[in-house]
Amino acid sequence: MCLRRLLQFLPLQRTWRAAFRKHGQCGHQGAWRWTHSEGGPYRAVIFDMGGVLIPSPGRVAAEWEVQNHIPSGTILKAFISGGENGPWMTFMRGELTEEDFLQEFGRLCSEIAETSVPVDSFFSLLTSEQVAKQLPVMTEAITQIRAKGLKTAVLSNNFYLSNGKSFLPLDRKQFDVVDDPEVAVKELEALLGFTLRKAPPNTRPMSKTMEIPVESLEKHLKALLGTRTTGPLELRQFDHGQSNPTYFIRLAEQQLVLRKKPPGTLLPSAHAVEREFRVMKALANAGIPVPKVLDLCEDSSVIGTPFYLMEYCPGLIYKDPSLPGLEPSQRQAIYTAMNRVLCRIHSVDFKAAGLGDYGKHGDYIPRQVQTWIKQYRASETSTLPAMERLIEWLPLHLPRQQKVTVVHGDFRLDNLVFHPEKPEVLAVLDWELSTLGDPLVDVAFSCLAHHLPPSFPILRGLSGCDLTQLGIPTAEEYFRMYCLHMGIPPTDNWNFYMAFSFFRVAAILQGVYKRSLTGQASSTTAEQSGKLAEFTSELAWEFAIKEGFWVFKEMPATKPLTRPYHTWAGPRSLLSTPGVRSYTSHPESSSARASKGALVVSPEGLSPSVRALYEQLKQFMERHVYPAEPALRSHQASAERWTPAPLLEELKEKAKAEGLWNLFLPLETDPERKYGAGLTNVEYAHLCELMGMSLYAPEIFNCSAPDTGNMELLVRYGTEEQKARWLPPLLEGRARSCFAMTEPQVASSDATNIESSIREEDGFYVINGRKWWISGILDPRCQLCVFMGKTDPHAPRHQQQSVLLVPMDTPGIKVIRPLTVYGLDDAPGGHGEVLFEQVRVPKESMVLGPGRGFEIAQGRLGPGRIHHCMRLIGHSERALALMKARVKSRVAFGKPLVEQGTILADIAQSRVEIEQARLLVLKAAHLMDVAGNKAAALEIAMIKMVAPSMAYQVIDRAIQAFGAAGLSNDYPLAQFFAWARALRFADGPDEVHRAVVAKMELKHRI
């Protein structure tokens, strides 16, 4: 007799007991209790064997040890020694002969006991009839139990004889089930009518609304699977599968998954289970890891809707993208495996795989955008403002080139089944949204979690997690990994893909929400989906903002790009009337032809409404601003200069009353025109140039730096609370603000050098550091400091900085001194050197989140930076106009200066340079409008290189022609000159812009 399975007592039985207790919520050892509607509470009693029906081998061993003077516990220690690979367990699995076992086991026992142990004698006892015999008391108990009509069962493996037949030292007639545990459980399940096994992970009992007719399904399965199907059908619902309800089926040996369409009226073309079935079949043949599909049933009479069946693929599904419990290297490996499998999907030759007609071959993104807009509209329950903006934005910003591959359409970590022991994807699930299309959509979709909070209910996120520490690649690293593996260059419109992906999520969530209202949605979280749709739509909009805006779809080819004009100084006094550009030779009809998308090179080309605004602004400048300049200059030279000039405040009120207010916020940042005039960058360029004619004008129209950049920052990146607190005073011109980045001790042209620290402490951020050249900080109206500092010196270089909104009255801010530009202190705003010592602000003061300062600083200086260039054109025009008037009236050496050849040459040179620079500024603005800020990066860098130097030269020539008067404060020239020079640093040093231009030139134009 082989007693290999006799004493599988300890581990196995404990496992069973634990499973039963957990499952049945009952603590009885050896018997499981439940309530039945008919009769008493019990229907059956299940017995353990060793220690219950027959004596415990542990007790046999203990007695034997005493009798044989073997140290107590030796046998027990030897039983468990080596775990699964110890001699006992190896023998139990039949992997050792009895002889080998006894040799090995004897050696082990002798080692433990430190004396020779005669294991043969113990083994004979254990297998003797006396021991392997049912205890009489149990025999009696079983008889009584059965007499009451209850079933009895024993849980044990078979005893196998050497001839292969099973043997059990029990009277089989006493038990309804006596067999191998697997078979025993199966038979018991048949007897009881429900499962005794642990449910597969991520499943739950079917919800009432999602029940499917079991009998009909069972019939179908039995017909499909044939004789292999005995026993009860276990049916559970997977937690995921919001869209197509998904079920786990256990029938006899078979573990299957059923996916079906949801019940009720469905949105057109959604929930196509037939397509899922088709693509999985084809991809399996192409070597992609997908569950094996078995059957597609399109007959709705079986369970109410079409469905398909596939094999259940056991393995690990990581629901939490932070992969808790894993090592950083394991996390890295999991994300790499995910990335690789996506590359494999995208590399499938879809025509060869028989999927050539699985989707259209072009225009995937435009079609997707329209599809999701339609789906969203079909399930809309209320207006979501961000969705409305995206519906306008997305079609205008479509990628120009797209590859075509199989796309999964919902590729994310929790749609992958991983091998339990190694970083290998065993199956890619949920192909509902698959088609042929642009593969980058899948890559962006893989990165959704990076931008969602960990508490996001449907897809847990990673935002705020320290990815470096976790070992998880950032979204950018993940994307680069993909590009590297696919051998493609990284795309520069990644944010479009992110915006589109979140838009799609928002549309899906809105669909789930609508279905929850009509009882069709399968998830318990479906009702929350309305709020989540709103949240994700706002996230999508954040990416749209980052991507930038092309206000017009196409760059018009028909608009004339020439403008005949001459420039002249008006007849009035030089002090009050600057040079004004006039375009009299330009036909009036041109404004009628003005197109919103045109590169408008002269104000006449502006649309009638903007042209009217331009004229109104010009008149305001002539009537109010130029005449006020002498008084304003005097104020700046007086002892009261550190308080705002009352005249300037008066002019602000006038400008506001005339609607000449906040003209700066570009349409791209403020598409709903909530805050500004909704001008395009080109339109504003013309108006901004006019404002640049006077150093005082920008503030009068509430269009001055650094407030404009800060307001734009708040509109783009601020939370609703931050906007509510800071935007109204700034937009109304009641408050002013500053931007604190530059530090004396580091080269601040490289913003990654910034050292001021931002530390988290008791729910606050504590700031320490020294800043300088902080424009506007000395103004008594300055209420807000937009502060940039380092939150994490160990993060990747561009993720160390963060931006805080710091109220200027926070204790610990000390302005040490005003700095001067060529002796000018630019009162009342000034440029301050400031100490921040233990400055505490609440955590809500953070903009966008820790580590995102660099991104904000870049975004802040988009349109804001080219405003300086636009104004510099204005300074230059004004300087040239003043120069022309001066040289006509000033006589030296017997003739007006204007008759000197060098003066004529200077005038000509200045005119040419202004024109060149203006055209470049307008081109940059135009590109920002039609192709987005990023596409205009080269032009932006070029004008920042060109405009200050050009203005510096033009103003210098004017000063030269003026003689010493040009250096005085009687004219704006000296201040213009100082400012043009300062802007060769303040807007980033020339060299940095040159480096950008050269880098791009070398990269793209070889």
Residues that bind ligand FAD (CB under 6 A): 706, 738-742, 747-749, 773-775, 821, 831, 982, 985-986, 988-989, 991-992, 995
Nearer to ligand FAD, 348 or 955 (CB): 955
CA 54, 60, 65: angle at the middle one, nearest 5? 175
CA dihedral 335, 338, 343, 344 (to 10 degrees): 140
Of residues 707 and 913, the one with the C-beta less far from ligand FAD: 707
Q: How far is the CB of 797 from ligand FAD (least distance, A)?
A: 15
Alpha helices by DSSP H, listed for 621-747, are 626-637, 646-657, 681-691, 697-700, 707-717, 720-731
Complex with ligand FAD: residue 393 or 773, whichever CB lies closer: 773
Q: Which residue type does 867 have?
A: H
d(CA 394, CA 366): 9
In three-state secondary structure terms, 641 is: helix
In the complex, least distance from residue 805 CB atom to ligand FAD, rounded to whole angstroms: 15
**Residue 124 burial class via C-beta count within 10 angstroms: exposed 0-12, middle 13-18, buried 19 and up:** exposed
Q: What are phi and psi of 165, to 5 degrees?
A: -80, 155
Helix 529-547 with 385-396: angle, nearest 10 deg: 40
User: Phi and psi for 898 in degrees, rounded to 5?
Assistant: -60, -20
Q: How far is CA 780 from CA 72, 425, 732, 735, in A?
A: 88, 62, 16, 9
Residue among 362 and 822 whose Cβ is closer to ligand FAD: 822
**Closest to ligand FAD by CB, 184 or 986:** 986
Indicate the residue among 296 and 821 with the shorter CB distance to ligand FAD.
821
Annotate 744-777 with b (16+ C-beta within 10 A) or e (fewer): eeeebeebeebebebeeeeeebbbbbbbbbbbbb
Q: Cα–Cα distance between 188 and 192 in angstroms, integer?
A: 6
CB of 969 to ligand FAD, least distance (A): 18
Tokens found for residue 951: 């203005």
Instruction: Please provide residue 477's backbone torsions phi and psi, each rounded to the nearest 5 degrees.
Output: -65, -40
Nearer to ligand FAD, 739 or 962 (CB): 739
Shortest distance (Å) from residue 840 CB to ligand FAD: 21
- The DSSP line for 823-860 is TB--TTT-EEEEEEEEEEEEGGGEES-TT-HHHHHHHH
CA 606 to chain centre: 39
Q: CA-CA distances (angstroms) from residue 849 to 791, 844, 853, 965?
A: 10, 9, 8, 52
Q: Which residue, 17 or 770, is less far from ligand FAD as judged by CB? A: 770
- In total, the chain counts a number of residues equal to 1006
- Rank residues 246 and 748 by Cβ distance to ligand FAD and give the closer one: 748
Q: Which is nearer to ligand FAD, 769 or 850 (CB)?
A: 769
Shortest distance in whole angstroms from residue 833 CB to ligand FAD: 11
d(CA 153, CA 363): 65
Return the number of the residue (145 or 861) whose C-beta is nearest ligand FAD.
Answer: 861
CB of 985 to ligand FAD, least distance (A): 4
Quick one: which of 644, 383, 368, 721 has its CA closest to 533?
Answer: 383
Q: How far is the CB of 668 from ligand FAD (least distance, A)?
A: 23
What minimum distance in Å lies between the beta carbon of 464 and ligand FAD?
A: 27
Give CA–CA dist 194/537, Å, rounded: 45
Smaller CB distance to ligand FAD: residue 370 or 820? 820
Q: Provide the minimum distance between the beta carbon of 936 and ligand FAD in the complex, in angstroms, as a whole number.
A: 21
Between 527 and 991, CB nearer to ligand FAD: 991
Going by their DSSP bridges, the two strands 566-569 and 579-582 should be labelled as antiparallel
In the complex, the smallest distance separating the C-beta of residue 992 from ligand FAD, rounded to whole angstroms, is: 5
Please say whether the beta carbons of 423 and 413 come within 8 A: no
E runs forming strands in 716-830: 736-740, 757-761, 764-775, 782-790, 801-807, 813-819
Render 922-946 in DSSP notation, one character per residue: HHHHHHHHHH-TTTTHHHHHHHHHH
Q: Measured from the CB atom, is 332 or 756 closer to ligand FAD?
A: 756
Residues 878 and 977 sit within 8 Å (Cβ to Cβ)? no
Q: Using a CB cutoff of 8 Å and minimum separation of 24, what contacts does 162-168 make?
A: 162/1, 162/2, 167/1
Q: Tell me how far, at minimum, the Cβ of 383 lies from ligand FAD, in Å.
A: 39
Considering the complex, what minimum distance in angstroms separates the CB of residue 641 from ligand FAD?
Answer: 17
| C-alpha to C-alpha distance for 786 and 846, rounded to whole angstroms | 10
To the nearest whole angstrom, how small is the minimum distance from the Cβ of residue 751 to ligand FAD? 8
Residue 266 C-beta: closest distance to ligand FAD, Å: 56
Cβ at position 705, least distance to ligand FAD in Å: 8
- Beta carbon of residue 682, minimum distance to ligand FAD (angstroms, whole number): 26
Question: Cβ of residue 995: shortest distance to ligand FAD, in angstroms?
Answer: 5
Question: Is the Cβ of residue 905 or residue 995 nearer to ligand FAD in the bound state?
Answer: 995
- Shortest Cβ distance from residue 989 to ligand FAD (Å)? 4
Q: Compare residues 612 and 995 and give the one whose CB is closer to ligand FAD.
A: 995
Give the tokens for residue 400: 């120009």
**In terms of CB distance, is 456 or 985 closer to ligand FAD?**
985
Is 44 strand, coil or helix?
Answer: strand
Question: Is the CB of 724 or the CB of 995 nearer to ligand FAD?
Answer: 995
Helices (H), 114-206: 119-126, 136-147, 181-192
DSSP letter (8 states) at residue 165: -
Cβ neighbours for 643, distance < 8 A, ≥ 6 positions apart: 780, 828
Instruction: Indicate the helix (H) or strand (E) that contains 451.
Output: helix 448-451
